[in-house]
Amino acid sequence: MSVSPDLIRATADSYIAALEAGDLDAVMALYADNATVEDPVGGGTVHDGAAAVREFYATVVAMKIDGKVLEARVCGNELLFNFEITTHFDAENSATINVWDHMVHNDEGKVTSMRAFWTPENMR
């Protein structure tokens, strides 16, 4: 592996910052062209390839989001991190969700696979 654990760990902060900024290009810059995204795990949909991943995230970044990384662990080229995001629907309504994301990185530091672990039980 040619990517440092620090670079892989930084993906967590970059990911949350891109979501907060509503920056689709910044989100996509984290991913390899052949990446897959499964969010949530077990939900039945795996977004496969850059076009499908972009389409998925276009709806996510359109929302007003505040986020915070709570914990991040790197093992080899894999990142497991826990975070909370609050989605603001309007001035009075929001929802906070606690998520664990598992990302696998290639030797260039790009994410090749992301799996998000959460259920409605993790929302408040």
Number of domain units in the chain: 1
Neighbours of 92 (CB within 10 A): 6
To the query of whether residue 39 is one of the catalytic residues in this protein, the response is yes
Provide the β-strand partners of residue 72.
81
Active-site choice (15, 31, 57, 101): 15
The CATH number of the domain holding residue 12 is 3.10.450.50
The reported pLDDT for the residue numbered 43 is 87
Its pTM surpasses 0.85: yes
The reported pLDDT for the residue numbered 2 is 78
* Residue written as token pair 């609050």: 86
Provide the β-strand partners of residue 71.
82
The reported pLDDT for the residue numbered 44 is 81
Q: What range does the domain containing 111 cover?
A: 5-122
Nearest in space to 88 (alpha carbons), one of 67, 64, 111, 104: 64
The reported pLDDT for the residue numbered 116 is 98
Neighbours of 2 (CB within 10 A): 9
To the query of whether residue 15 is one of the catalytic residues in this protein, the response is yes
Active-site choice (31, 39, 57, 101): 39
Low-confidence ranges of the chain (pLDDT < 70): 1
